[in-house]
């Protein structure tokens, strides 16, 4: 008789432990999902690119100037996206057998343009010149954020009129013009 009374108690206790373990596991999994979706650095990562490129490594650690890759920034509306040949300038000798570097060779050999995904958007109706801003001493990070800390670049600041007006109104020493027609021609 004593065995019968012990077995149900163990069974109830085992069931309670199983339920508590399942509940704890569910909470931990939910917490992990929420953390990695909202809190982790990947949450602020920009779009995936056809060839992964770490600005943190290249700009932050290796200290490569933005203009080396974005070489039309001083002469055009857009900063320009680098062709495969620009990447291969260094990667002809640095990790040349890496699969992503082989993909760069494929683009270069075929003459195909790398379909980089645009990260920063500027309205078409805005008259904007990178050249004027660089000449005035504006740093890339002033608009684009700390790309040297980003593995996958994301849009730190929405480049809308309010952002530009706020900056221009604070930059009197740089002769930032606030006239509407300066940007809206």
Number of domains in the chain: 3
Does one domain contain both 27 and 104? no
Q: Residue 32: which pLDDT band, with cuts at 50, 70 and 90?
A: low
Looking at per-residue confidence, does 39 or 143 come out higher?
143
Chain-centre distance of CA 143, in angstroms? 14
> Does 65 map to a domain?
yes
User: Is the domain of 138 the same as that of 184?
Assistant: yes
Per residue, the 3-state secondary structure of the chain, as one string, reads: CHHHHHHHHHHHHHHHHHHHHHHHHHHHHHHHHHHHHHHCHHHHCCCCCCCCCCHHHHHHHCCCCHHHHCCCCCCCCCCCCCCHHHHHHHHCCCCCCCHHHHHHHHHHHHCCCCCCCCCCCCCCCCCCCHHHHHHCCCCHHHHHCCHHHCCCCCCCCCCCHHHHHHHHHHCHHHCCCCCHHHHCC
Q: Are residues 67 and 148 in the same domain?
A: yes
pLDDT for res 5: 52
Residues 19 and 72 in one domain: no
Q: What pLDDT does residue 142 have?
A: 93
Which domain covers residue 9, as residue numbers?
2-39
pLDDT at 44 > cutoff 90: no
Helix crossing, 84-91 with 99-110: angle to 10°?
130
Domain's final residue, options 67, 95, 115 = 115
Q: Looking at residues 163-183, what average pLDDT do you find? A: 81
* Mean pLDDT, all residues of the chain: 85
Same domain, yes or no: 100 and 70: no
Place of tokens 């001493």: 137
Q: Are residues 141 and 91 in the same domain?
A: no
Q: Do residue 24 and residue 7 come from a single domain?
A: yes
Among 115, 134, 163, residue at a domain's last position: 115
CA distances from 156 to 36, 56, 125, 141, 150 (A): 19, 14, 21, 9, 10
pLDDT of residue 43: 46
What does the pLDDT average to over 50-66?
94
Q: Which residue has the higher pLDDT, 172 or 13?
A: 13
Would you say residue 47 lies in a domain?
no
**Which of 115, 135, 161 delimits the end of a domain?**
115
Query: What are φ and ψ of residue 78, in 5° steps?
Result: -105, 155
Residue at 71 is within a domain: yes
pLDDT at residue 76 is higher than 70: yes
pLDDT band at 61 (very low <50, low <70, confident <90, very high): very high
Instruction: State the CB neighbour count (10 A cutoff) for residue 108.
Output: 17
- Same domain as 14, residue 68: no
- Examine the pLDDT at 54 and tell me if it is beyond 90: yes
Same domain, 64 and 106: no
Query: What pLDDT is stored for residue 36 in this prediction?
Result: 55
Residues 160 and 134 in one domain: yes
List pLDDT tens digits, range 102-161: 999 999 999 999 999 999 888 888 888 888 888 888 899 999 999 999 999 999 988 888
- Would you say 137 and 174 are in contact if contact means Cβ atoms under 8 Å apart? yes
């Amino acid at each position: 008789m004593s065995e019968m009374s012990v077995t149900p108690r163990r069974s109830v206790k085992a069931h309670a432990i199983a339920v508590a373990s399942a509940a704890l596991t569910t909470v931990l999994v939910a917490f992990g999902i929420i953390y990695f979706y909202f809190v982790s650095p990947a949450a602020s990562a920009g779009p995936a690119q056809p060839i992964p490129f770490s600005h943190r490594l290249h700009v932050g650690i290796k200290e490569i100037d933005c203009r080396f890759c974005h070489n039309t920034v001083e002469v055009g509306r857009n900063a320009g996206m680098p062709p495969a040949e620009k990447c291969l300038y260094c990667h002809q000798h640095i990790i040349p057998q890496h699969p992503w570097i082989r993909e760069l060779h494929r683009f270069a050999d075929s003459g195909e343009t790398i379909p980089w995904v645009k990260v920063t958007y500027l309205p078409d109706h805005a008259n904007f010149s990178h050249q004027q801003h660089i000449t005035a001493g504006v740093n890339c990070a002033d608009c684009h954020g700390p790309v040297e800390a980003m593995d996958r670049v994301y849009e730190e600041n929405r480049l809308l009129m309010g952002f530009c007006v706020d900056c221009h109104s604070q930059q009197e020493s740089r002769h930032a013009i606030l006239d509407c027609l300066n940007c809206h021609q």
